[in-house]
Amino acid sequence: GAGVSQSPSNKVTEKGKDVELRCDPISGHTALYWYRQSLGQGLEFLIYFQGNSAPDKSGLPSDRFSAERTGGSVSTLTIQRTQQEDSAVYLCASSLLGRNQPQHFGDGTRLSIL
Amino acid sequence: LAKTTQPISMDSYEGQEVNITCSHNNIATNDYITWYQQFPSQGPRFIIQGYKTKVTNEVASLFIPADRKSSTLSLPRVSLSDTAVYYCLVGLNQAGTALIFGKGTTLSVSS
């Protein structure tokens, strides 16, 4: 079946611009995660959605970052007034509900801020 | 929060068995041990998960001693395509929602 799909795969933009990154999770997965990975580093948790519950936004680095999940499916991560330090790969994952359910990742969006 | 420690890098040759050990001294009773594999320009991929003793699937084996304070991922007869970063994950973040990824172990397989 289809895996987690992210778009665009690459995004280059100028400092100060806003960007939107999209994630299509696996159908039926109620949990959705966003992570950020800088070059040569591990994954940094950003935000978690689970069904209709309030999202866990504890990993968002600043108020320039926000995310939505519409209809319990597609999610968008928005970065306003981008800065050069926002350059990274943004990864989305989805899973079934449950503490130890494996997460299925997309291949990410590589964001470059000029 | 459970903290994991694993080697930064390992080198191997094709056909050899590779064992990557992860330490997690403060693992909680309800924590599972999960390993992911990440190739360049791809998202991490779930490999194997276990709670205690030994788990085996078509890709790898996971050995967990009785005290569960460490675990060993075993890759039999590696090939060049096994060159990747391997992450050991135990427990969730403060909010109990997401996995905590460290820097992982970079495995390089040569011919």
pLDDT (0 to 100) of residue B3: 85
The confidence score (pLDDT) of residue B42 equals 94
Contact B103/A at CB under 8 A: yes
Say yes or no for a CB contact (<8 Å) between A45 and B100. yes
Determine, for residues A102 and B49 on separate chains, whether the beta-carbon distance falls below 8 Å. Answer: yes
The single-letter code of the amino acid at B29 is T
Q: In this structure, what is the dihedral angle of CA atoms A33, B30, B85, B66, given to the nearest 10 degrees?
A: -170
Q: Give A43's contacts in chain B (Cβ within 8 Å).
A: 44, 101
- From CA A48, how far away is CA A53, in angstroms rounded? 10
Q: What is the pLDDT of residue B99?
A: 82
**Per-10-residue mean pLDDT for chain A, 114 residues long?**
91 97 95 92 91 90 95 93 97 90 95 96
10-residue stretch averages of pLDDT, chain B, 111 residues long: 88 97 92 94 95 94 96 96 95 82 93 94
